[in-house]
Homo-oligomer: A and B are copies of this chain.
Amino acid sequence: MDEYSTGFCIRATGRGGTGSKCGRWNPTGEQVKVLTELFRSGLRTPTTDQIQKISAELSFYGKIESKNVFYWFQNHKARERQKRRRILVDDLHTTTTTSSKQFGSGEKNEAERVIETLQLFPVKSRLYADDCKENTYNLGMEMDHPTLDLRLSFV
């Protein structure tokens, strides 16, 4: 995920090479960087105005449309939650060591607990009590032109 996409995106040299159908938007490293930064700044669901502004700014780095920005935020937010949910739960089972790199010695009985009863349809347990605040955005960023300058003031 994030840890991966730090340095290679930009498939400029990808197989696209010549044709590059470009059926879909392919963000450049800079664009991703800015978007990520905005996200980290607290922006989760930009308004139409913000979207257009962001889009306009990012167009400097390459072709981009407003809807791309819109989708980007939608996806980023959704995936963040999804990931958190998953990791959270599967963490419970990985009690041994975070880095199961080498468990040559300790590893053994843990696996003894035969988990044969694979029952996937339990009682529809509630995973997470809806919502977790995270409404910390807003403040002064949802409007005009504030937070958008970042340090990228290219122009």
Contact = CB atoms under 8 A, between A and B. Distances in A.
Interface of A: 17-19, 22, 46, 48-57, 59-60, 63, 65-67, 70, 83, 85-87, 89-90, 93-94, 100-103, 111, 113-122, 124-125, 127, 150-155
Contacts of A119: 53, 118, 120, 122
B118 A66 contact: no
A67 B117 contact: no
Given A67-B150, A70-B150, A155-B66, A56 B120 contact: no
Number of copies: 2
B152 A56 contact: no
Contact of A153 (B48, B85, B122): B48
B17 A127 contact: no
25 contacts: A18-B100, A19-B101, A46-B120, A48-B86, A48-B127, A48-B154, A50-B121, A51-B86, A51-B152, A51-B154, A52-B154, A56-B115, A57-B115, A65-B86, A65-B90, A66-B86, A66-B89, A67-B83, A67-B155, A70-B86, A116-B117, A117-B117, A121-B122, A121-B124, A121-B127
